Each structure stands twice: as structure tokens, then as C-alpha cells.
A and B are shown apart, each in its own frame.
Chain A
Amino acid sequence: MPFYRNIAAKIALLPMIVISLTVFVGCIIYSFVFSLTNSKLVPVINYVGFDQYERLFKQRKWDVAVENIFIYGFVFTIGCLIIGFLLAVLIDQKIRGESLFRTIFLYPYAMSFVVTGLVWKWVLNPTFGLENSMHMWGMTWFELDWLVNRDLAIYAVCIAAVWQGAGFVMVLMLAGLRGIDEDIWKSLSIEGVAKWKSYIFVILPMLRPMVVTAIVLIAAGVVKVYDLILALTSGGPGYATTTPAMYVMENFFSRANLGQAFAASIIMFISVVCILAPWAFYEFYLRNKYANN
């Protein structure tokens, strides 16, 4: 096929091709190459092998960051899925004011992470926040000092994140629920299966594609979490809520330790690939294979 055939389309797609190659592929190669150097303030080619990675894994702060991202990833993903599914089921009960409730559950998703973080920072303020309200109402035993508690601060981040993201899962699940055939509901009701049982054992498995999509999208977002934590806790108290993304940004822009930052960012990248690869394999390879048979 001659090169100039369909030349207009090739020209039109040129920006996408250039960006894919230079930015998406090029940046990863660049980061990997310089993660093997001891660059500090400016990137210099001075190979030190995998020293930066070795140093990274010895950092207490990195351990904390990785631990946090696992806690956050787990609680946030599970929280969003359970609450999102629950809300979708509730809304699916032919209730009055359906669109009002849907609007209420989804509006946080329109807000930025910075706003989410700052609002929850105020609501959970240890002096003036909800704890204080509960005390004023006579519930003096009530404790909500999460933001200043090293062990619990990361869960405060999770609450804010679930508040922001649950509506998104609800929308996906609701679309799935609305696509369920009425006949299935009829046969379930003839069989006399309890409603909650039908939802959990029959409908939920049928929504598997939605659930998988939701999990992948949420999980890919988990690794990136940065602004939410910056606004809510600034990584504190101490560095109790720091995350890999914060570790990378710190080493890039305030500690002038480029080599470390590159190494940490490559680890982040690898973890995203590990999340995506099985899904992409299933979605694009296996499914096509079965579709063709």
C-alpha cells in the first residue's frame, strides 16, 4: 500500500501518533533511564545501576507510602463498590424523587479532590468539627480525632474519597441494573426468591462487566491519589498519610532528588501495569478470541 494513500487521515492522526510516542512512551523510557542514574538537581547520565531502587526500598517513608496506598486502595475500592451498589439498588426500587436522590449522590463527583479534601478537613476538624458537635449534643464519649491520629488519618482520606466517588459507581451499577431483563425478575418472583437474595446471588453476578470496569477505573485512580491527600492532611501527621505519588512529587520538586523520584515513579508505573494487564488481556484478547470462534 503506497504511503500517500489515505494521506489526509494520516496527517490528521499525526498529533496523536507524535504524542503517544513522545509523551506516553518517551516519558517512561526517559524516567527509566534516569532512574538508573544518581541525578540530583538536574538529570545527568551517570549510571549507578539499580542503586536508586535499593535505596528506595530501604526508605521508611516509602514503606509507609506503600502501606498507605494499599489501605487506601482496599478501603476506597471496597467502600465505593458496596455503597455504590447499595445506592443503585435503593434507587432501583421505583422510589419517588429518584432523580433528586441520584443528583444528591452524584454531586460530590463533580467536585475536585482539592475541594473534597478541604471540606472534609473542616468537617473532621478536631476542635470545631463533628466531634465537637457530638459533644455539644451530650455524646461526650464520641471521638473523631482521625486527622491528628497517625493510625487513623488514612481512613479519614478514605471516607472523603468514598464520599466523592461512590456516586460514580452508583451510576455504572444503575445503568447495569436498568439493563436487566424483566423476565429474570418475573421468574425470580415466581420462584419466591427473597429480594435481597436475588440481588446478591443473581443480579450481582450478571453485573460482572460493570463491576470489573468500576474496579479497574477506581484502582487506576488509586495509584494517582495526590491532591486529595495534599488538601486533607498534607501527608501528615508527620508523614503518616504520605503516598507514592507524594513521595515522587516531593523528590522531584522540593528535595531535588531526581534519581529517587524517577525510581519511585517507575515503581508506580509498574504497579499500574500489573493492575491493567490482566484486565486488558481479558477485555481485548480473550473476548475477541471467543467472539471469533
Chain B
Amino acid sequence: MSTIPKGPRPKHLTVGRIGLYCFIIMCALFFLMPLYVMIITSLKDMDEIRAANILNLPKELSFYAWPKAWSQACTGFVCEGLKPGFVNSVKITVPSVIVSVALSALNGYALAFWRFRGAYFFFGLCMFGAFIPYQVMVYPLLKIEDFLGIYSSLPGIILVHTIFGMPILTLIFRNFYASLPIDLFKAARIDGGNFIKIFFYVIIPMSTPITIVAVILQVTGIWNDFLLGLVFAGRDNQPMTVQLNNIVQVDYGVAEYNVDMSATILTSLVPLFVYFISGRWFVRGIAAGAIKG
């Protein structure tokens, strides 16, 4: 207990501790329930889903929903499953993450060490952009992209993700660089380093931890995006989330809940994987993105 910071663990469980554990386990069950339902539903066949309790384990495992969700489920008239969406999401996420993280690192570096008059005014504007609802910007941005000739294309959606990822990423890079000892920078200056040389030889080698945080933040954010993919990616590049929604929300035909749930799990696999292997970093990313100033 936190009132007794030191000393051995209490040997006997008190009534209060048992109550505490019961309560926290109940909370955990509530949080796990949707994941559990998702997984077992995807492993049942439709007859069992119709007949049995949603919380019961499947009587016999049926795996047919998984390949169907992956490569045969229909969105509208096309029956190719989620696979094209997965490919599109990869094609969108990888370049978007690279471009936005690289650009934001450069921004953060310039803001932290090469401050010029007005730089922070524009940085403030940029941060303000992080809070503007997308709905205010989608249409004008669509017009801009249309003018540039990249609307409804892969470069178009990559640019959009770069734009909307920039404020928060620039902020976390700037904060990280501002926390580095300034003497390091001064020493590099005395040794004759210029803007580019110091960035590549001094700053980048030190940026690994914050880059990991930024990449995690962007991978989950871009993979989970729906609205921007829907508007800017165009029909041929629709990301997985958009296709998932199309598969599940079909207006006609019999709803196949096991296929829907397999598709839902497939769509969340990448962010969940990132989350489970990077737990501590993920948490750090949240904290870095949340705590301003």
C-alpha cells in the first residue's frame, strides 16, 4: 500500500485487498469482453451464432470466416475481402510515417536550436491546427489537392497525413531536442558544424528514443484513420478501415457476423501488434503527445 512505502509485503490478504482485487478483475473483464466476443464470434459458424449465447465458447471451432474475411467478403459489387485494403493501408502508412517523422524531426531541430524571429509564431499556428476539427478543413484541402492534381491518389493521402501529423510530431521532437544539453550543440558549432551537418552527425544519432515514440504514434494513428482515407485516398487506394466499414455495413444479403468479426480483428491486428510489443513506448507516446509545453 502506498501509505507504507517500505517494508515487506503484507503476508495476509486483508478483506480490503480482496475487495480491491475483485473490483479490478471485474473492471478488467469488462475491458476484455469485447475482444473476447470478437474472437469467439469469428470462430463460430452462423448456425451457432444464431442459436447460442454470444458469450459462450464455440462448441466446435470453425475457421472458415477468416479466409473469407481476408479475400472473399464483399464490399458493394467487389468481392475481394480485406486484402486490397490491407495492401492499401500499408502503401499509405509506410511513406506517410517516413515523410511526416523526417519532416517533423527537422522542424523540431530547427525550432529548438536555430530559432529565428517569428519561428514560434508559426509553430503556434501549427499547433493550433492540431485542434481544428478535420471537417472544417477537408473540403478546402480537397480543393487545394485538386488544384495540385493529386486529389484522390496515393501522394494525395500521404500529403494529408503528413500535414495532420506534423503539429503533434513537431511538438514532441522540439521538446525532446530542447531537453538535450545545449553545450553539445555549442561544441558542435565551435567545431564548425553547420545546420545540416549538426543535424545528421550530432542530432539524428541521439534521436532514437523519440523517433520510436513518433513512429508508434504515427503508425497507429494513420492505420486507424478513417475519415481522411475515405475522402482523400480515392476509390483505388481505400485503406483497410474504410473497406472494413463497407464490408460490415452492406445493405443487402445475410449478415455474416463471424466474417464481420474476423474482418474487425484483422483490421486491428497491426495497431494491437504495435501496442503489445511496444507497451512502454506506446505509453510514453501518449504522455509525450498529451503533455504540452
Contacts and interface: CB of A to CB of B under 8 A. Distances in A.
Interface of A: 1, 5-6, 8-10, 12-13, 15-17, 19-28, 30-31, 43, 87, 90-95, 99, 101-115, 118-120, 122-123, 125, 128-130, 132-133, 136-137, 163, 167-168, 171-172, 175, 182, 185-186, 188-189, 195, 213-214, 217, 220, 223-224, 226-227, 230-231, 234, 244-245, 248-249, 252-253, 258, 261-262, 265-266, 268-269, 272, 276, 283-284
B107 A105 contact: no
Contacts of A104: 28, 31-32
Interface of B: 1-5, 20-21, 23-24, 27-28, 30-35, 37-38, 41, 49-50, 53-55, 103, 106-107, 109-111, 114-117, 119, 122-123, 125-126, 128-129, 131-141, 143-144, 163, 166, 170, 194-196, 220, 223-227, 231, 241, 244-245, 248-249, 257, 260-261, 264, 267-268, 271-272, 274-276, 279, 282-283, 286-287, 290-293
B111 to A, nearest CB: 7
A21 B1 contact: no
Which label, helix, strand, loop or mixed, suits the secondary structure of the A interface?
helix
A90 B24 contact: yes
Contact of A23 (B135, B137, B261): B137
B127 to A, nearest CB: 9
Contacts of B55: 130, 133
B72 to A, nearest CB: 19
A146 to B, nearest CB: 15
A135 B116 CA distance: 68
**Which of A15, A16, A167, A253 has the most chain B CB atoms inside 10 A of its CB?**
A16
Given A101-B24, A110-B220, A118-B244, A16 B122 contact: yes
B132 A24 contact: yes
A95 B227 contact: no
A272 B132 contact: yes
A9 B114 contact: yes
A122 B37 contact: yes
